[in-house]
Structure 1
Amino acid sequence: MLYPKPVPLPTFAPSILNSGYAYRDSIGAAGQGQTVLAFLTGRYRHSDAETWAARLAAGEVTLDGQISDGTERLRQGQTLIWQRPPWQEEPAPLGFDVLYEDESLLAVSKPSGLPTLPGGGFLEHTLLTQVRKRYPEATPLHRLGRGTSGLVLCSRTREAASGVLRGWREHEVQKTYRALASGRSPEDSYRISTPIGPVPHPVLGSVYAASATGKPSLSVARVLERREDSTLFEVDIHTGRPHQIRIHLASIGLPLVGDPLYGPDGLPLPYLPGLPGDLGYWLHSARLGLAHPVTGAWLELSAPAPVLLQSRRESS
C-alpha cells in the first residue's frame, strides 16, 4: 500500500533512563594475550583505562561467566561481556511517517536527530525500537546518520531482506539525496570519486573520511538551486560508504552547511572536530528505486524534504 505524502511533525521525547545493555565480545587472535583492561580500553575508545578500571571494580565485566578484575590474560575463543548499567539517553524525536508498506517491505521517513540503530549512547531512542513497537518483524536494511532525515527501507521477511541486499550488492538500487552545501557551486554537476577510508581522529582513534588508500566511491551531484551563500544539491550515490555525501561534497570544497565533522578537504576539521553522530548538517534521503524483492515490479519510493532542502519553486 502506497501512502500519500505526510506532513513531518516530529515530536521530541525527553531524556529517559533505559534498561542497560550487554556488550559482548568473542576474543579473536588479536586479543590473545592482552589483559582484560587493555583489551577493553583499546576496543571501546570512548572510555579511558581509569574509567574501565572503575567498571571492572564495580563487577560490570565478566569473562566466561566469571566476574573479571581486569588482570586476566585473554585467550582466543573466550567470551567477554560488559553489562552496562541503565543510562540516561538524550532527548530525540521519536515520530516517524509510514511511506509504504506491504507484506514484505516497509518504508518510513526518519526525522533528523533520531539514530537508526542503537549506538553512540542511544538504545531505546532509535528508529529500530520505535518501528518495532508497531511492526515487530521489521528490520532497517540500511542506516542513515543520526542527523540525516528521510527514507529508510525495512524488510518484514527474510526473503525480502535477502532480495533487497542482493540488489544493493549488485548496484541495482537507486538512491537519491538532498544536501545543502556551504558556498555557491561554480559548476552545475559533479562526478565525485574520492576514495573513502579510515583516518586518524583525536577522540575516536579513527573515522571515515577522504583517504588516498580508501575504498573506491562514486557520487553524482547536481545543483538544484544556488542561494546567497549555499547550494542545494541533489545527489545520487552509486556506492554506500559511511558518510559518503558529507565527505564527497566536502572533498570538492563544498562541505555541508553546519557539518561539525568534515572540512573543505573531506577530512575531519583540524580544530575541535566533532563526532559522526553530532547534529547540525542538512542531508535528506529523498528517493529510492528498486525492484520489489518478491514481485520483481519496479518500486519508486520518496520522502518529502524539510523546507530548507526544498527549492523555492517547490516550497512556493
Structure 2
Amino acid sequence: MPVRDGVGATRLKVPRTGPWPTIADYVVERFGHVDPDGLRARFDRGEIVTIDGSPVRVDTPLGAAEFVWYYRELGVEKVIPFDVEIVHQDADLVVVDKPHFLPTTPGGGYVQNSALVRLRIALENPNLTPIHRLDRVTAGLVMFSVRPETRGAYQSMFADRTVEKVYEAVSALPVTGLPELPRVVRSRLSSEKGRLRVAEEVEGEPNAETAIELIRTGESRGTDAGLPVVHTLLRPRTGRMHQLRAHLAGLGLGILNDRFYPVLEDESPDDFDRPLQLLARELRFTDPLTGAPRAFRTARALQEAPR
C-alpha cells in the first residue's frame, strides 16, 4: 500500500488457526476493546486488505491470509511545537537536527507529529526511511535514507558499528561528589517487552559500552539556573536502547529531567520548559557509497549546560 499523508500502512500478522471464526473476529478481540463496531465497519468499507490489495471482509475466514494491511486512523494529536531542521540533503541521505519531544517515527499517539512523517510531506518523498533512531525525548542528529536502492549500505554501518556517535548530557552534581572521569562503563543491559524502563543493569557478560568524559562542572543556566551540574561527553560503542541514560544513572549522574532513570516517575504531560538534557551531537563515518569521510554536528545546545 502506498504511503498516505506521510504515513505507511501497518502490517499485521494473523494466526492461521485459533478460536476465531474470521480474521475480523481476531482483530476485534485484539484491538477492538475501545470501539469494536467501528473496527468492524472498517472491514465493511474495505479498508483492511491482503497483500494484493483485496479487501478482507467481516466474514473472511481465519487462515485466508497470513498478513493484513491497514492505515492507522489519525486521531487528534497533541502538537509538538518544535521544528525538525535539515542539516544535509543529497540524492541518498538526509541528516536532520531533531528537537526534544518529537519522535523519530510514528508511535505512542504521535503520527503526524513525528520527524519521519513531517519530512516525508515536506520533501515529498514517501520512500524516506530512518537509518537509526533517537528517543522522543532526546534531541540531535538523525539520518534518513532517501531511496531504497542505497538504504542497505547506510543501515549496515550501524549494524557493523562503523559510525562514530558523540553525545552530550547534563546531570545534577551528586552530593557525594563527582565520580572519577573519564571512564569506560561496561555492563549488561536487559530489557523486557512491556516494561517502561527499557534498560536494567543485570549480572552477566557486558553487552553495552560507553566512554564518558568530563566537559566541565558549574551552575546550570536554563530553567533550573544555579543548580550545580556536570556536563559530560559520551561516546557509545554499542547501541542499546536507553544505554546512555542507564549508564549515567548507574554512576549517580542521572540526566536532568529524565523521568525513567534512576527513578521511574509517574506519567505526566510533557514539560516543554524541561527537556531531557541529552543531545546527539555528532555523527562521523566513511560514506559507504563514495568512500569519503562524512561528519555532521548539531547546531543545538543543552539549555542547562554550564558556561
> Is TM (by shorter chain) over 0.5?
yes
Equivalence map 1:109-124=2 (5 Å): 109-124=97-112
Relative distance call for 1:21 and 1:67 in structure 2 (3 A) is farther
TM-score scaled by structure 1?
0.72
Aligned identity (percent) is 23
Contact 2:96 2:141 in 1 (8 A): yes
Task: List gaps (5 residues or longer) in structure 1.
Answer: 1-17
User: One-letter code of the match for 1:259?
Assistant: D
Q: Distance in 2 between matches of 1:190 and 1:73?
A: 59
Equivalence map 1:272-291=2 (5 Å): 272=266, 280-291=275-286
User: One-letter code of the match for 1:224?
Assistant: I
CA RMSD of aligned residues (A): 3.6
User: One-letter code of the match for 1:232?
Assistant: H
Relative distance call for 1:52 and 1:210 in structure 2 (3 A) is farther
Q: Distance in 1 between matches of 2:151 and 2:187?
A: 30
Relative distance call for 1:217 and 1:115 in structure 2 (3 A) is same
User: One-letter code of the match for 1:292?
Assistant: D
Relative distance call for 1:250 and 1:77 in structure 2 (3 A) is farther
Per-residue displacement from partner, 1:229-282 (whole Å, max 9, x unpaired)? 321111111111112211221222221111112226xxxx2x536799x98411
Answer yes or no: is 1:33 the counterpart of 2:18. yes
Answer yes or no: is 1:51 the counterpart of 2:34. yes
User: One-letter code of the match for 1:287?
Assistant: E
Contact 1:260 1:275 in 2 (8 A): no
* Residue-pair matches, total: 276
> Which residue of structure 1 lines up, in the alignment, with residue 213 of structure 2?
222
Q: Tell me, what secondary structure is at the counterpart of 1:258?
A: coil
Relative distance call for 1:310 and 1:39 in structure 2 (3 A) is farther
> Which residue of structure 1 lines up, in the alignment, with residue 297 of structure 2?
302
Q: 1:105 aligns with which of 81, 90, 93?
A: 93
Per-residue displacement from partner, 1:184-236 (whole Å, max 9, x unpaired)? 43222231222223247xxx455511142787111111111223432111111
Q: Distance in 2 between matches of 1:164 and 1:262?
A: 31
Q: Distance in 2 between matches of 1:189 and 1:73?
A: 61
Shift of 1:40: 6.0
Per-residue displacement from partner, 1:55-80 (whole Å, max 9, x unpaired)? 54x53466971237xxx995595345
Relative distance call for 1:237 and 1:159 in structure 2 (3 A) is farther
User: One-letter code of the match for 2:97?
Assistant: S
Contact 2:11 2:68 in 1 (8 A): yes
Task: List gaps (5 residues or longer) in structure 2.
Answer: 51-55, 219-226
Relative distance call for 1:76 and 1:245 in structure 2 (3 A) is farther
Contact 1:19 1:85 in 2 (8 A): no
Q: 2:76 aligns with which of 88, 92, 99?
A: 88
Relative distance call for 1:93 and 1:194 in structure 2 (3 A) is farther
Answer yes or no: is 1:134 the counterpart of 2:123. yes
Contact 1:194 1:251 in 2 (8 A): no
Relative distance call for 1:60 and 1:213 in structure 2 (3 A) is farther
Q: Distance in 2 between matches of 1:170 and 1:20?
A: 29
Q: Distance in 1 between matches of 2:83 and 2:155?
A: 26
